[in-house]
Amino acid sequence: HKVKMVIDREYPIAQVDERIYGSFIEHLGRAVYDGIYCPEHGSADEDGFRNDVKELIRELNVPIIRYPGGNFVSSFNWEDSVGPFNERPRRLDLAWRSLEENKVGLNEFTKWARSAGSDVMMAVNLGTRGIADACNLLEYCNHPGNSKYSDLRISHGYKEPHNIKTWCLGNEMDGPWQIGHKTMEEYGRLAEETARAMKIIDPDIELVACGSSYLTIPTFPDWEAVTLKHAYDYVDYISMHQYYGNQKGDSQDFLASSDDMDQFIRTVIATCDFVKAQKRSKKDIKISFDEWNVWYHSNAADDDITKNHPWQVAPLMLEDIYNFEDALLVGLMLITLLKHADRVKMACLAQLVNVIAPIMTEAKGGKAWRQTIFYPFMHASQYGRGTALVPVLSSPKFDTSGHEDVTAVEAVSVYNEELHEVTIFAVNRDLKKDAEMTVDVRSFEGYRVLEHVVLENDDLKAENGPFCERVAPKQTSQSALDGYIMTSTLHKASWNVIRLG
């Protein structure tokens, strides 16, 4: 393939909001218990949290972590998770049919997240609960003192308010699986009234209304239109969620899924702007893509656990072991998010540890290790900060079983003005043919190729494990710059990070 790209600092998409490199930890499976928290582990700190896991999270440089769910939040009583440990109840988690012991609650989690370098994006329960409980939780977290719930926090040993800035108004309330699932009219009204009340308590917070759980859910995009018809003036973001899987065993088509994600984002933007026009509003609603990943490997095992082995503490659930092609799709999804940097201001790789996660720990306190998808996320988080530039790209196209006009190469670049560096992220998603990419870097005179890092593997199904890393990045010399023209070889099925500076 011959591919051409032009990058020019005069053609920005937008400043990348670093919060697009957010992630998510739900009280689900072994994410919290036996994941980030394991008092018996050799690396545990005085609060019982694993330092080795925290180190891996730091490698990913995650600015914000969504918590405590997910589906879990829709039957969660936050009060159960605070106060003296020996008084905390054991509760049935209806979402995952697990037993929640509340050994880690919102105070411990917030303290831990900050120590990992992350802010918390807190979700309120709009499934089984409503406005009053959301307000009480916000008062507990953010109000300085001298009121019932802020004093309760202080009595629990947290004198300073947590000052949590970003709040999700429920989770996937459009999904029939959600505890307390709502119609769009019901949710729109509830989101509006909850948002209005919460902003009275703390006008500095930012609110995320639930959008659709996936592109093909029948209520999309009416859900967004109706929700925003009610809540437009009080919310700042609409959420998007999307997971992909190669259930058909058609890898070429699987790698085209990021085109659907692109289409989904475009349609949500159009819907937001339609409501903006109806309201004669001056405000833009931004996107919080707060759940995205590959998720399918563990589905059958999870169904078995919820159906036949319920009410376990920290069961092995959603433990997808990712392969190389999954890492390619994660790279393509990151490129898609960056291409919409003007509108997608937050995003959460779902999730972070053990549950559909880049970081795994062996069961019962064993080794922590990096999945294949760890690497594209790490690269984007590390080098994708600055200004996203318009990707003027011409690539050959092909059709797959489920998609038309799929580009062989997808790429985007990010210019970091402070560091005087520009990084191109590129995936050659053609499984058969290498590509020769010519990049016109006209506005980056005097720059040199700092490195060209590649993630590739002959086996699309190659996986990593605690003691073997088959999929890991390597340095190559596949890029050369001559004047302002760079030529790069992008091997078939490869994730490429080309840094100039």
Nearer to ligand AHR, 43 or 128 (CB): 128
**Shortest distance (Å) from residue 298 CB to ligand AHR:** 11
Q: What residues does 349 pair with on adjacent strands?
A: 23, 292
List residues binding ligand AHR (CB under 6 A).
26, 69-71, 171-172, 291, 350-351
Which one, of 272, 157, 176, lies nearest residue 221 by Cα? 272
Contact 337, 13 (CB under 8 A): no
8 Å CB contact between 32 and 438: no
| Shorter beta-carbon distance to ligand AHR: residue 57 or 454 | 57
CB of 294 to ligand AHR, least distance (A): 12
What are the tokens at 161? Answer: 């308010």
Angle at 70 between CA 266 and CA 306, to 5 degrees: 125
Looking at the Cβ atoms of 298 and 400, the one nearer to ligand AHR is: 298
Q: Which of 358, 362, 412 is nearest to 387 (CA)?
A: 412
Cβ-proximal residues to 40 (8 Å cutoff; 6+ apart), any chain: 365
H-helix or E-strand spanning residue 119 = strand 119-124
* Residues 290 and 24 sit within 8 Å (Cβ to Cβ): yes
Least Å distance, CB 125 to ligand AHR, is: 13
Q: By three-state DSSP, how is residue 21 classified?
A: helix
Which residue has the closest beta carbon to ligand AHR? 70
Between 326 and 456, whose beta carbon lies closer to ligand AHR? 326
The set of catalytic residues is 172, 291
Smallest separation, CB 176 to ligand AHR (Å): 11
Minimum distance of ligand AHR from residue 231's CB (angstroms): 19
Name the nearest CA neighbour of 394 among 2, 20, 15: 2
Least separation in angstroms between CB 243 and ligand AHR: 7
| Residues sharing a CB contact under 8 Å with residue 344, sequence separation 6 or more, in sequence order | 17, 20, 265, 286, 287, 288, 289, 337
Q: How far is the CB of 71 from ligand AHR (least distance, A)?
A: 4
Q: What is the CA radius of gyration of the chain?
A: 22
Closer CB to ligand AHR, residue 147 or residue 216? 216
| In contact, 201 and 137? CB cutoff 8 Å | no
Distance CA 329, CA 254 (A): 8
Residue 317 or 437: the one with the smaller Cβ distance to ligand AHR is 317
**All residues at 6 or more sequence positions from 446 whose CB lies less than 8 Å from its CB, including other chains:** none
Determine the number of helices (DSSP H) and then strands (DSSP E) in the chain. Answer: 11, 28
Nearest to ligand AHR of 51, 299 (CB atom): 299
Specify the 3-state DSSP secondary structure of 196: helix
CB of 26 to ligand AHR, least distance (A): 5
Q: Which is nearer to ligand AHR, 70 or 386 (CB)?
A: 70
Q: Which is nearer to ligand AHR, 213 or 488 (CB)?
A: 213
CB 213 to ligand AHR: min, Å: 6
| Backbone dihedral region for residue 418 (phi beyond 0: left; psi -120 to 50: alpha; all else: beta) | alpha
Nearer to ligand AHR, 22 or 69 (CB): 69
Between CA 170 and CA 324 the distance in angstroms is 33
Can you say whether residue 199 is alpha, beta or left, with left for phi > 0 and alpha for psi between -120 and 50 degrees?
alpha
Q: Considering the complex, what minimum distance in angstroms separates the CB of residue 36 from ligand AHR?
A: 16
> In whole angstroms, what is the distance from residue 149 CA to residue 153 CA?
6
CB count within 10 Å of CB 476 equals 17
Q: For residue 145, give the amino acid letter.
A: G
Q: Are 398 and 408 in contact (CB under 8 A)?
A: yes
* Four-CA torsion 189, 191, 193, 194, nearest 10 degrees: 150
**Nearest CA-CA partner of 406 in 398, 416, 417, 415:** 398
